[in-house]
Every structure is written in C-alpha cells, then in structure tokens.
Structure 1
Amino acid sequence: MRLKVILSTVVAFMMLQNVQAQNGWNWPEDEKLRKEAETKNVLYSDHLRNDNYKAAKAPLVWLLKNTPDLNASIYINGAKIYEALEAEASSEEEKFVLQDSALLMYDLRIKYFNDKSNVMNRKAYTAYKFYKDRQDKYPELYSIQKENFDLNKEETHLNNFIGYMDAIRRYKATGGEITDEEVIQVYDEVNEALKAKGGHEKIQEGVDKIFAATVDIDCDLIENKLGPRFLEDTSNIDLATNIIKLSFVGKCLDSEVFLQAAEVVHRNAPEYALAKLIAVKALQADDYDKAEEYFKEAISLTEDNTKKADIYVSMAEMSAKRGRKSDARSYAMDAVEADPSKREAYNLIGTLYFNSFDACKGGQSRVQDRAVFLAAYDMYRKAGNSQGMANAKAQFPSKEEVFTENMQVGQSISVGCWIGTTVSLQTRD
C-alpha cells in the first residue's frame, strides 16, 4: 500500500512538472528551494485531490510563505482548502480564522496575479457567505461588495446583486454610515446594471424586496427625493420604473410624480395594465380627456374580451358622469358585446333611461312621457336587477291613463329623446 502511494506521488510529480513547464510557473532560481517547492506543490495537490484538506494545508502554507508568486493556482486551491476546513471546523473561533484565511487567498491572488474584476466577483460571493451573520464584519462586507460592484457593474455575478443589497441593508440597520439617498443611488445603479445584464426577474424581485426593507418607503421619499430627480430628466426610464414600483410599495398612487412616471414608462413600453391604471387615476382627478385616451389605449393593448369589457364599463360610467348619455349607452353595449356576462352594463343603461324622465318628457302625453320607465325596466330585466325593475314599474302609466289616451296594453310605442327605442306598453296596476 505504501509503495502504491509513493509511486502515485512520483507519477503525479512528473506529470505536474511537465504541465508546469508549459504554463509559465514562476519557480525559484535557487535549485534547492525549487526542489522543495515542487515537492510541496505535489504534496498539497495530491491531498487536495483526495479531499484531505487538513493534510493539504501545511504544504500549501509553505508555498504561500516561500513562493508567493509561484502560480495563481495556489490561491485558487488555497481558497478551496480553507473553505472546506471552515465547513468542518467545530468551534466558532476556528471558523472565523479559516474564513479570514480563505478571503485572504483572494487578496493575495489579486496582489500577485491581478485579474481583479474576476477575483473580486468570487471574493464578494464568499464574503457574503461568511460574513452575512457576523455583525462585527458588516462594515467590511459592505466595503467588499461595494468595491466589487463599482469595479464590475453589469459584469457583477448575479448572486452578488442580492449580496450587495443585503450587505447594505445589514450595514445600515446596525448603524452604518450610509444615508437613504445613498441607498437609493445604489439601488438605481443596481437596477441599471441588471437591465444591461438582461433583466433576470427573480434577482430583480429580490433586489426590490431588500431595498424596501432598507429604506422607509413613503410618499415623502417618492415626492421629495425621487420626484425632483425625475423631473430634471423625465426621459430617465429606469428612474420612472423605480418610482412606479416604490409607489406601489409605499401606497403613493395618488402622487402626481407617480402618474407622470407611469406615463413616461407607458410611452416607452405600452402595456394594458399601466394604461388602465393611468386612465383610472386620470378619471379620479376628473381629467376625462386623458382618462378616455388611456382607456382606449388599454383596449388596444389586450386581446382579452373580459378585460376589454371592464374598460368599456368604466368608459360608460365616465361618459354618464359627463352627461354624455348616448356615448355611455354605446360603451355599455360594447361591453356586453365583448363579454355577454357583463350584465351590469344593462343596469347602467337602465339607470340612464330611468333618470331621463325630466329631460325627455314632452308634457303632451303622460303615457308617452312615462315610456322611458318602460325602456328602463327592459334594461333592468336584462341586468337581473329586481329592485330596479320594481322601481321602474312603479313609474309605469296607470290603466286609467292608458284608457284615457285611447291606447292599449301591449301596443308598441316609441321612446323619443336621446333614447330612440320602441317598447311594449305596460301599466303599473
């Protein structure tokens, strides 16, 4: 068994020498030191290959001390060895020492072999894993994450976006010197980098949640901190998008800044939900022209008939509020055509008819004047509104009025005015 181990080590040593000669290893010029370095390199590599991290540590430490610029691999493998030992450590004190040693491998690798952007990405990930639950290390964790992001921007590894934002959250929550304005600035930069990287919805959701837990999001933040920045450059789509997201979190949908941001984002990327939201907010502000514009825009952006019907009902209600009864009826009928289950549209028309008595009565015939209630009854019936039907029927002409005007129950009579329909004559008694 011992002979096999020796032979294995010798073979590995010979193979390693051949590879190293081709890959530019920086062996010491002193022959004795070189032989020792070659032996240590084979020993730690062999132990590492067999997952014997404890045995690999001593020859590795010798190489780090005596030949620090030998090859980047001693730092790459060194980080692996210290991380593996950290996972096996039994005491917290030992774990902390090994964590610091593992991170030192990244620093030394940068010192002797540069490749800083790549190495910092790896260091940031490892630092977050080790330090996220060590409050004494939060300033250092924040510093590492910030340095990595400032260096790499959109080249930052995906997991490090979450790590960076969470490092800020932990640092700020424990008294770190970072203001809300600085957090917002970082959040903007992170969003911009994520967008350049191609989106990544789950990472974005994580970043948004951490940001919301870091800064007190309220209407003051949106209107007085983000708002002025946005108004300076209303073409800033990323900032406008952030304002929309944060407005939902802070329940600030009545803010003028929110509405302006929504319009900017919609112009850049038209979307049904956003168009509808802008229309609803405009309607609440009695800006009917804008509401109508965006309601129509919303309809054009969906193939879902139920959604179209919802919009038509809203447009019908708006037109009724504006006194545009014919338009209101037209939109209500569009709603039913799009989705026959929208029976409330009939109810809206019934109410329009019912309330048109004073405007439409001619004063020449009580029966003719009350025909609007017959038309209202028909609409309430289609809507399934029994109370509306009862109210309308109570306003039908009486038998006596029908008899006096020489008419008959069941005959067709025209309803004039804006209603312009025909009904079957009925009486209330």
Structure 2
Amino acid sequence: MKIKSTILGLAALLSAGMVQAQDGWNFPSDPAQEKKARELNAAYTDYLSSEQFVEATHPLNWLLVNVPELNESIYQNGVKVYDGASKATTDEAQKRIYQDSVIAIYEKRGEIYDNEKNWIENKAYYGYQYFKDDKDKLAGPIADFEKAIELNGTLNPTLTAAYFNLVYRNYAYHQAYTGEEILAIHDKLQAILDKAAAEGTDVSSPKSSLEQLLVAMELIDCDFIENTMGPKLAADPTNEALADQIFKYSVQYKCYSSKSFLQALEIKHAKEPSFSTSQVIAMRYVQDNKLTEAENLWKQALTLAENDAQKAEGHMELATVYAKQGKKAAARNEAKTAANIDASKTTEVYSMIAGMYMNSFNDCKGGVSKIKDRAIYIAAYNAYQKAGDNAGMANARSQFPSKEEVFTEGMQVGQSLSTGCWIGETVTLATRD
C-alpha cells in the first residue's frame, strides 16, 4: 500500500472550481485551497533549487494530484524532481517508484497539454535509462521512441543508438521482431544518421554503435539474405526498398554469388543505371554463361562510362565475351580499341589476340599448303612480341614451318604471306629452324 500511495496519484479526478487562468496559472477558487497550492508550489521549487529532490516530492505530489492543471511547469519541474530523487535514494524499491513517477508525469502532461511531440524524445530516453535492464519494461520506451519518430518525422541522432539498443534487447529477450523488421528499423535509423552527416553532424559514434548491435544479433549472413530475403524479393520484384536492403547487406557481408544479390542489383540498375552496376551484372552473366545478356550489358556500360579507364575496361570485357561466343574478329576489334584508349592494356590485349590466333589453326587450315596454314603462328608470334611475352613468342615460333617445308613448297624466307581466314593479316615468312 505504501508503494501505491507514494506513486503519483495522477489518475485522480481533476479538482473542481479553478479560478480564471492568469498567466497560465490556474489556482483553486477556494481561498484555503489556493493558499495551500501557493505554499506547496513555493515549497517544492525551493527544494528543487537546493537540489533536495526527495523533500521536493512531497509538496509536488500534492499539487500533481489535487491541482493537476495548475501550470505546465509542475510537469516540467516534476521530471527533474523525481529523476533527481531516484538518483538520491539508495533504496532500490523506492528508486523504481521515483522512476515510474517520471514516466507517469510525462503521460499526465500529455493528457492535459497535448504537446507530446515537444518532449516525447526525453520521455523515451528516461525510459531507456531506467528500464533497459528490465526485460519486462522494454516495450514502454521502445513505443516512445517510435512515437517520437512518428510525431517528428525523425529522431535526435544521439538517441538512435539508445533506441536500437532497446530493440536489440527486446529481440534477445523476447524474439520480438522478425529479421526483416529489425533491418527495417536499422535502415530507418541509418537514414536519420546519413541525413545528419550530410548536414555536417559527426555521427560516427552512433553509427558504430548501430553496426555493433546489428552484428551482435548474429542475424545477417549469406544464407539469411538468400533464403529469407531473397524469396520475398522474387515474389515482389517491385519492392525497391527490399532490393536496396539485399544489395546493401550482400555487399557488406560479401554475398556476391547469390541469386538474390543479382536480382537486387538488376532492380537497382534498372532504376539508376551506372557503369559499376552494369559491370557487376555483366560479370555475373558471364559466370552463368549468359553471354548474350552479358554482351548487351557491356554495350550499355560503355554508354555509361565516365572516364577512359572505364571505357577501356568495357571494351576489353566485351572482347572477352565475344571471344567466348566465338566472334573472334569482333573480339580482336574490341581489344584493340581498349589498347588504343588505355596503353597500359597493351600487354593484356595482344596476349589475348595471340592466344586466339594460336587456337585458330584447326578452324583456319585449308589443308593445301602447310606453309599458308602455319602462317597464323607467325601472326601469333608478332602479337606476342607486341605483348612482350617471350614465352609466348617461343611457343608460337615452335609452330613455324621448317626450312625443308619452305623449300618443298618453293617459297622463300622473308616473302610476304597472307594468313587468310578471320585473321586476315599479311606476315613475313620465317622458319622455326
């Protein structure tokens, strides 16, 4: 009974007979009640000024119960009084009574003054401090943080970590959320921090706290992304928010090989095409042997390239796709274009061309002249030479015709010779010996 009587009796009926408000003060019309209210108002403010918080609770409690509409200041100061009293007492039961009274004061203030958006963040943070270790009381401050975001459209960046800490605890104690719900809360808070950072606020500390809490939940891994988030995106490919989540967490946790990552990236690319998104999607298509799709993506990537390095890379990758498709002439053209744009790719380009020449013997041989058939190896040698590849040059030279073969066919070393076939080059006849 002592506890019940000590907690603010804020559910009491509003006292009747108030006089006309003057400067926001509503003293009782009854002279005796007015006198008592004035005396107790002065008494608690004196105690508050001298930081005698426990003593201040007694006159303040009478005011809150008997003249609850006296003035909003009794609620503003009431929070200071009861919070101070909770810190002043060593009795744990009494401490909790004072803490509960702080929350009750905020709730009664909301009923009377209807200005919750001005102080709901403060109420939430007091609740966080008081109840974060009480698994049965987590729901209250969590609801207050959510209400703060609802009413104000945002949250003080310094409070984001406190809110997410409560979410973490509620999940650990009660499994109160699905994985997707936690990620949605996390992303909402990250958006608040990103906006604050863009406005010049240092949010490194709360950002770090959020990430540490998310990791501690052991919620996200590649399996979660693929098997839990992925099917939902497959069922609703228009869900851009989910696609953004999957993309973000796939990158963060290096889950690049999943189908869900590819789908999320395709959705992101469709909305905001860029060279980098084209690049990654095209590479995945090549891995999956979707060469036509990869060809189209690299062609698009070239239109989105922002500098010569990206253009050269685009042409080189397109050359690789063409080579896999058997379009060797087209592959060579793209590779040479890459080298013309970026000279640093010369070695890579001519090694690739030489390799295609070396592998074209069976496709290009006519079977009439060994010398003409082996001319492609001379072209390969020349390409390896441009690449600076001595081992490749030696390998190509070993396939040159012999002096005897040259003599037998009535040709001469040093004469010009056409390779024919798709290679279409004119080379100088040489022998391997």
Q: In which range does the TM-score fall when normalised by the shorter chain?
A: 0.7 to 0.9
TM-superposition CA deviations, 1:103-141 (whole Å, max 9, x none)? 555344334433234432222234335555x3xx24423
Which of 224, 227, 231 pairs up with 2:230? 227
Q: Within 2, Cα distance between the matches of 1:411 and 1:427? A: 12
Comparing 278-287 with 62-71, greater Cα deviation is found at 62-71
- Is the 2:160–2:189 contact (alpha carbons within 8 Å) kept by the matching residues of 1? no
Counterpart residue number, 1:10: none
> Deviations along 1:26-66, whole A, 9 cap, x unmatched?
33443312431453465367x3xxxx5x2466446523432
Give the Cα–Cα distance (whole angstroms) in 1 for the partners of residues 95 and 315 of structure 2: 64
Confirm or deny: 8 A CA contact 1:309 1:334 kept in the other structure: yes
1:325 and 1:292 map into 2 onto residues whose CA distance is 14
CA pair 74-415 structure 1, distance change in 2 beyond 3 A: farther
Q: Relative to structure 1, is the Cα distance of residues 367 and 111 closer, same or farther in structure 2, using a 3 angstrom cutoff?
A: same
Out of 241, 246, 250, which is 2:244 matched to?
241
Which residue is equivalent to 1:62? Answer: 59
Count the aligned residue pairs.
396
**Aligned-residue offset at 1:233:** 2.5
| Superposed displacement of residue 409, structure 1 | 4.0
AA aligned to 1:379 is A
1:306 aligns with one of 302, 309, 312: 309
Q: Following the alignment from structure 2 to structure 1, what is the Cα–Cα distance between the partners of residues 94 and 384?
A: 76
1:155 is aligned to: 154
Q: Deviation per CA, 1:140-165, whole angstroms, max 9, x where unpaired?
A: 23442234315634434434444333
Q: Deviations over 1:161-191 (max 9, x none)?
A: 4433332222222x32425x2x412433663
Alignment correspondent of 2:280 = 277
Cα deviation digits, residues 264-319 of structure 1 (max 9, x gap): 12111223322222211121111112222222333333313323333333322222
Per mean C-alpha deviation after superposition, the further-off stretch among 294-303 and 390-399 is 294-303
2:388 paired with 1:384 = yes
Residues 211-260 of structure 1, C-alpha deviations (whole Å, 9 max, x = no match) = 45425334553344323432332211101111222334555433333322
- The equivalent of 1:123 in structure 2 is 123
- 2:428 aligned partner: 424
The answer as to 2:146 corresponding to 1:146 is no
Q: Tell me the residue number matched to 1:353.
A: 357
- Pick from 336, 339, 357 the counterpart of residue 333 of structure 1: 336
8 Å Cα contact 1:377-1:392 kept in structure 2: yes
TM-score, reference length from structure 1: 0.77
Q: 1:316 aligns with which of 309, 315, 319?
A: 319
1:142–1:168 contact (8 Å) kept in structure 2: no
- Deviation at residue 346 of structure 1 after TM alignment: 1.9
Give unpaired runs (5+ residues) of structure 2: 1-20, 198-202
Displacement of 1:355: 0.7
1:141 partner amino acid: L
8 Å Cα contact 1:192/1:238 also seen in 2: no
Matched residue SS, 1:418: coil
Letter in 2 for 1:330: N
Q: 1:42/1:291 Cα in 2 relative to 1: closer, same or farther (>3 Å)?
A: same
Alpha carbons 1:117, 1:148 under 8 Å: kept: no
Asked whether the equivalents of residues 191 and 238 of structure 1 are also in contact (C-alpha less than 8 Å), the reply is no
**Aligned match of 1:184:** 180
State whether residues 89 and 95 of structure 1, in contact with CA within 8 Å, keep that contact through their aligned partners in structure 2.
Answer: no
Q: Encode CA deviations 1:344-373: one digit per residue, 9 max, x unaligned.
A: 122111101111112112233323222211
- Whether contact under 8 Å (2:121, 2:148) holds in the other structure is no
- The percentage of counterpart residues that share the same residue type is 36
Alpha-carbon separation, structure 1, partners of 2:254 and 2:299:
26
- Paired letter, 2:180: I
Q: In structure 1, how many angstroms separate the alpha carbons of the residues matched to 2:91 and 2:269?
A: 53
